[in-house]
Structure 1
Amino acid sequence: MTFLTSANDRDANSLYMLGLCSRNGYGLAKDSAAALFCLQRAARMHCPEASEELMRPHEEMYMHDVYANAPGYSYTPDSLPDVRPSAVAVDLPAGDYRGFIVTYDWSGKYILDERPFAMTLNGVTGGGLSGMLTVGDESAKFCGTLSRGRLVFTEGGLTMPDRYVRGGKQYYYFGDMALEACGGKVRGRLSLKSRSRKEPGNPMYFELVGNASGTSAGTE
């Protein structure tokens, strides 16, 4: 890892990343002692993200057991499902789709949270697709193009919880959506990206059931 070499050179941000990965097991074995050492050292070097991480009482995936084992969340996949965008045209009628969306850690092995998810499709206008996405209490209009099993967004984004600042918010723009659709049901992955942090959001998987209006939103 690049930041591992930098951490040895006393780079605060790299020490923070090494501490974060050691605490959560991202790309290396979990090591609480090493995580604490790196985070404390980075915090002393005035890295605010490290200070925030030290204030968190739990590692990032501590909610996984709640979602994986609680009867009320039996519908949530324990790990990030594989989604292969369709190689043929997707039949995605205009209308309202409702269901849930699950956010996973970077490894895809642990659930971070689950929220209601809704998508409204207005249909094709001028060769593009428009509508609205709602994640939890946040809603935003979008525009994009649908080709086979992939919706590529050209406009739209949401304000989501900031991973690095407790209680903070971060704006993520819509990247794309990998889709599998059959019989009014849609499943797939939604990718979000942060321009300010220049990084993608955590992996997200969703399942939706449609109440279609009958007008097809699909393309070739």
Structure 2
Amino acid sequence: MSNISILKRLLLKNIYGTLICLCCYCPYKAASQSIHPVVTVSQSDSNPDNARLAAVKKYYALALRYKDGDSVAQDFDKAYYYFEKASELGDAQSTYALGYLHYKGLGTTQDYELAARLFRQGAYTGRENSMYFYGLCWRNGYGEEQNEDSAKYWLTKAADLGYKQAVWELQAKTPENSNNDAKKLVRQIHNAALPQEAVLNQFIPVKAELPDSSVIQGDYEGYIIQYDWSGKYVVSSKKLHLSIEAGDASSSAANTGLSGQWLEEGADTAILHATLGKDSLVFADTKYRRKDHYSINRAVTYNFRDAALSLVRKDDSVFLAGSINMFSPERNEPSKPLFVALVRTSADNGNATNNNTTKTKDGSKDSTGKNNNSNQITAKLLQVYPNPFRTQVSVKFELSAPSNIDVQLWTIDGKMVYSKSSDGILNASQYTITLRPGNIAGGTYILRLVYQGGSVEAKVIKK
């Protein structure tokens, strides 16, 4: 059975398991004094409408505080409660906010149909934010039957009132829920996995009592798949490369501590910090910037929050798969559901410690890159920078004796994509050479410095 087939089966299993858990946000809790503090609204004003407006103002202000975490712990449940109180008193902006929370499943059940009804109320009374989201409902088939004409009608009305997001959505050629490549990928996974789904039971979880984390070190390739807020529709899929290496040996978690890099197609590189938990790789203190349908021209920062990937192995193969829960400090809310499935393409066997770890021609590794035979010419990689790089990367190295050198870039599957040689023999000294590999694909490469009698290597990442 191929690794791709196993990866597809693993992805399908988790789509209907782990992912569903991620998509189910906390249901709306009925209001009670034990959950929500009592808000006292003064009734001294003889004008009932003034008293109503005063109550709306207080409820709405409290709702915003809890929604944004302004001087209080962020709490979408309480935000929903106070928006509902203000909406019951006739506040149209609070009615829109209830639709927004139902649309995304924040503090209440995720429900597109209810969200669409609430947006429709605001749209027909001239609220541009409700018009925008009501247009999205029509365009994506979220709570309304998908209809591009109705979508354009409401988006245009919102745009005419100056709502920028509506202008941007009208400029988008396709809606969010129309990524045919992503849908095709999931269909392929589904079709490949159904006939032999029982094979999944042959996976053996990696046990937590392993003496160290070397079993999972290496390079992984796969996909990160994003769903809509309901978790029912695939809205994007991107290639993902994950590099995992041993963490700081001086750390208290030396046997389980890991570091590495997360390189997602079209996103910034994330520097990872993780620990090996029970059958899981758990990330911490990791953030990066990524784009989506609604931020196509500007990447949004996301923090990895409660991100854990299940770790399984079969024969000599190692797989990572599971849900990734992220939070955007810019948007001040969680991301849509994300799912990751990866298969290891090469292993470090626990010997690598960082991107500049070197390996001699005979296969032995040490921190200097020296061959075991001290009589031979040796070379030492001193620095590779910047790493990751965009257009060029500089290599600082030292030769112990005169030699000509050749600096090469290799893909992780063994294909050389770039080479630069010295102009003749270099004397024993330190040198810096700059590589400009041109239009090579983003990803992880092996930088190899070849000298007379040996070579040294380091991992580099092209953005």
Partner residue, 1:181 = 311
- Residue pair 1:26, 1:107 contacting (<8 A) in 2 also: no
Partner residue, 1:126 = 252
Partner residue, 2:172 = 56
> Separation in 2 of the partners of 1:174 and 1:57?
30
Which of the pair has more CA radius of gyration?
2
Amino acid at match of 2:348: S
> Separation in 1 of the partners of 2:229 and 2:173?
20
Partner residue, 1:23 = 139
Structure 1 residues 6, 199: CA separation in 2 closer, same or farther (over 3 Å shift)? farther
Q: How many percent identity over aligned positions?
A: 29
Bigger share in helix: 2
CA RMSD of aligned residues (A): 3.3
TM-score (norm 2): 0.39
Task: Determine whether 1:142 maps to 2:272.
Answer: yes
Among candidates 196, 213, 216, match of residue 348 of structure 2: 213
Matched position secondary structure for 2:168 = helix
- Residue pair 2:279, 2:312 contacting (<8 A) in 1 also: no
Structure 1 residues 147, 60: CA separation in 2 closer, same or farther (over 3 Å shift)? same
Q: Deviations over 1:54-106 (max 9, x none)?
A: 11222212222x44448xx875559xxxxxxx9x8497623322222222333
Structure 1 residue runs of 5 or longer lacking an equivalent are 79-85, 216-220
Amino acid at match of 1:206: V
The alpha-carbon deviation at position 202 of structure 1 amounts to 3.1
> Separation in 1 of the partners of 2:218 and 2:178?
36
TM-score (norm 1): 0.74
> Separation in 2 of the partners of 1:107 and 1:67?
16
Partner residue, 1:81 = none
Partner residue, 2:336 = 202
Amino acid at match of 2:333: E
The alpha-carbon deviation at position 9 of structure 1 amounts to 4.3
Bigger share in strand: 1
Task: Determine whether 1:10 maps to 2:126.
Answer: yes
Q: Deviations over 1:94-133 (max 9, x none)?
A: 3322222222333334433332212222345434543221
- Residue pair 2:282, 2:309 contacting (<8 A) in 1 also: no
Q: Deviations over 1:160-199 (max 9, x none)?
A: 1243244232222222334222111111122332211123
Among candidates 7, 28, 38, match of residue 154 of structure 2: 38
